[in-house]
Amino acid sequence: MWMEKLSDGVLRVLTPLGPRYIRLTFWQRLYLMWIFRHFDALPQQVLSGRQQNLIDSLCASHGFIVLRQGNEAPIIGTVERRPPILVDETPLRRKGTAGVTESAHTSLADQKG
């Protein structure tokens, strides 16, 4: 199976529009087989900077191909290229926190007086 991937393998990229398949050179196939040696799919965020740059350049080159049922190439690996999730960074305020601190200050003031 690895010989088929090395000779004809493609990279699958999962995008918000659906999966895309990229044709690769021999050296790109060899490098990607090394990256995906233990995994079938990886999110792009876990790749190194060099690996992310390779994926970005492959996607920018528009080397996408269409795989049909009769013309299926072996898939070397799948990169999950999803848009980043925006996280609201405002701190959450717990209910009742202000009441606890106020009651602690009042009880200290009552003890002194």
In the predicted structure, residue 43 carries a pLDDT above the cut 90: yes
* 57: confidence class by pLDDT, cuts 50, 70, 90: very high
Q: Kindly state whether residue 46 falls inside one of the protein's structural domains.
A: yes
Q: Which tokens is 53 given?
A: 């740059």
| Number of domains into which the chain is organized | 1
Predicted confidence (pLDDT) per residue in 79-106, tens digit: 998 766 666 666 666 665 555 555 555 5
What's the domain range around 33?
A: 2-80
pTM of the model: 0.67
Q: Kindly state whether residue 26 falls inside one of the protein's structural domains.
A: yes
DSSP codes joined into one string, 38-103: S-SEEEGGGS-HHHHHHHHHHHHTT-EE---TTSPPPEEEEEE-PPPPP---SPP--TTHHHHHHH
Q: In percent, how much of the chain has pLDDT > 70? A: 69
Q: Kindly state whether residue 44 falls inside one of the protein's structural domains.
A: yes
State which of 8-12, 64-68, 108-112 shows the largest mean pLDDT: 8-12
Q: Kindly state whether residue 68 falls inside one of the protein's structural domains.
A: yes
Q: Kindly state whether residue 105 falls inside one of the protein's structural domains.
A: no
Q: Kindly state whether residue 91 falls inside one of the protein's structural domains.
A: no
